Structure 1
Amino acid sequence: MLALACCISSTAVGQEKTGNKEGFALKPGTVKIILMRPVIGVGEQSTGGLYEPNADWTTQARGHLGTALSEAQTQLGNQVMPYEESAGPEGPLVTQYSQLFNAVADSVIEYQFFPGNRLPTKKRDKGFEWAVGPGIAELKSLEGADYALFISTHDEYGSTGRKMLQIVGMLGGIGVTSGVHQGYAGLVDLKTGELVWLNADRQMGGDVRTPEGAQKRIRQLLEGFPGKPVALTTAQP
């Protein structure tokens, strides 16, 4: 068990969190970015480790994260506009692209950010080559923009039963995690569908159910954004 724990620890230490397409640069004031509707899910982790959505927590998080994003988007050095939900009948298709972005981000974490898991075609010398597909260029609701900024957060707060199981596991020498807090932020080139920047972490901080926690989460999500650094003010209770 100790050897396994050391192995897991060294893997976590070696994990990368940010990637850029080779040669990509984003000069402030030169492009238009569409901020896609964030994908936000908040719930409880049951004793058995299952995710149980909580509508109230998700609503709280959506409001706090939205406020933090509104402040952050004015600091990204380029014109950042929120996606117009009423732009047309493409809503379901846009939602699919958000889900596809999440799947791609998961793959980047698993097969490129973890050095030990890198696929032969994803080695460091092969560059950062990921995409959601060229079809995104055909979306009429994104016309006139250069990039789409996708943001996704998923939080599971450990239930009392899960926390108790974690304590029992520790006493028995068995590792049991309590809570899941992951987030992804990425830029997609709307001409090619290529993912040109990604910041992804499966161990994010900030309780998104609070204003302060939501600001912390947004700072972490936009860390390393290819432009101006984001520094949000401290939210007041």
Structure 2
Amino acid sequence: MKFVLRLIALVFACASLLGTQAASAQEKSATKEGFELPAQSGKKILVFRPAISVGAQSTGGLFEPNAEWTEQAKTNIRASLDKLQLQLGNAVVTAPEAYGDDARAVEEHMALFAAVSQAVIEYQFFVGNRLPTKKRDNKNDVFEWSLGPGVASLPGASQADYGLFLYNKDQYGSTGRKVLQLVAAMGGVGVKSGEHIGYAGLVDLKTGDLLWLNADGAMGGDVREPEGSEKRVRQLLEDFPGSTIKDDQR
């Protein structure tokens, strides 16, 4: 009984967070005004190693990393990306392995890309949270976001025109979280079990401008499995400028 009461208390503690969760659980894509990338354009795309983290979601909603799941997902997603990048429509090169300061710079820019992507969702895509400047941008069909000129110094950037950044974070609901979800449902409160976030973005390697973004806060495909990972990569790269990739597995 005490356990159930604690769960109910958690339900109402989580209820105040539902508005924020709703903002992330939507899919949107956007392209910078005036940007076009037709197939066989002669431009070169540098693909950075995707940022991937997989774990469990605790009863209270905290992320608990799982090293084994993460390694499985890295292997599967990279294999799917190697397969599907041939359909991107333009020349693709893989970013060189980075070490020391270069590795830290790539990691920092990947984290920056994730933060910018989340900001795009919350403050431009999500109507209720739009910043005043983004309300005007949406009205005028303007998409203006950037990672800054520091991308020009990343390993391999001088050999390509654009950089492709991919970010994935998956939380699978723990047993406690699923029990909480059931108890919450009995009380008429919705609690989400699990979270599957993915962002894919094309960045101008000279200016740092974000040219295209596909951001999804409720992705499909179990990245711990090869088939699920291919579904995930297809979802991330659907509508990529100049590509023939389609998400035909929804």
TM-score, structure 1 as length reference: 0.89
Q: Which residue of 1 aligns with 2:115?
A: 103
After superposition, residues 144-183 of structure 1 pair within 5 angstroms as: 144-183=159-198
Matched, 1:195 2:210: yes
Distance of 1:137 and 1:106 partners within structure 2: 22
Aligned to 2:79: 67
Return the match for 1:24 from 21, 35, 48: 35
Of residues 205, 214, 221, the one that matches 1:206 is 221
Structure 1 residue aligned with 2:129? 117
Question: Distance in 2 between the 1:97 and 1:212 partners?
Answer: 29
TM-fit CA distance, 1:89? 4.7
| Residue pair 2:26, 2:217 contacting (<8 A) in 1 also | no
Instruction: Kindly indicate whether the alpha-carbon contact (under 8 Å) linking 1:16 and 1:113 is maintained by their aligned counterparts in 2.
Output: no
Match of 1:49 among 41, 48, 61: 61
Cα distance, 1:116 vs structure 2:
2.2
Aligned to 2:47: 35
Q: Is the 8 A contact 1:88 1:141 kept in 2?
A: no
Question: How much has 1:232 moved relative to structure 2?
Answer: 8.1
Give the one of 63, 80, 84 matched to 2:96: 84
Shift of 1:86: 4.5
User: Structure 1: how far apart are the matches of 2:223 and 2:113?
Assistant: 21
**1:139 shift after superposition:** 3.3
* Per-residue deviation, residues 104-123 of structure 1 (Å, max 9, x unmatched): 00100101111222212113
Q: From the superposition, tell whether residues 66 and 86 of structure 1 become closer, same or farther in structure 2 (CA, over 3 Å).
A: same
Distance 1:88 1:50 in 2: 31
Please list every run of 5 or more consecutive structure 1 residues that lacks an aligned counterpart in the other structure.
none
1:72/1:232 contact within 8 Å kept: no
Q: 1:126 to 1:230 in 2, by over 3 A?
A: closer
TM-score normalised by structure 2 residue count = 0.85
* Equivalences, count: 228
Q: Distance in 1 between matches of 2:71 and 2:46?
A: 23
Q: Distance in 2 between matches of 1:142 and 1:172?
A: 53
Distance 1:170 1:233 in 2: 33
Cα shift readout 1:190-219 (whole Å, capped 9, x = no counterpart): 111000000001111110001111011001
**Stretches of structure 2 lacking an aligned partner (at least 5 in a row):** 1-11
**Aligned CA distance change for structure 1 residues 169 and 142 (closer, same or farther; 3 Å):** same
How far apart are residue 87 of structure 1 and its match?
7.6
3-state SS of 2:156 partner: helix
Q: Matches of 1:207 and 1:88 in 2, distance apart?
A: 32
Task: Note the aligned Cα RMSD (angstroms).
Answer: 2.4
Code of the aligned partner of 1:164? V
Query: In 2 relative to 1, CA 233–204 (structure 1 residues): closer, same or farther, beyond 3 Å?
Result: closer
**Contact 1:180/1:203 (CA < 8 Å) preserved in 2?**
yes
CA displacement at 1:156 relative to structure 2: 0.3
Report what 1:58 is aligned to: 70
Over 3 Å counting, the alpha-carbon distance change for 1:170 and 1:41 in structure 2 is same
Alignment identity in percent? 56
Q: Is the 8 A contact 2:150 2:208 kept in 1?
A: yes
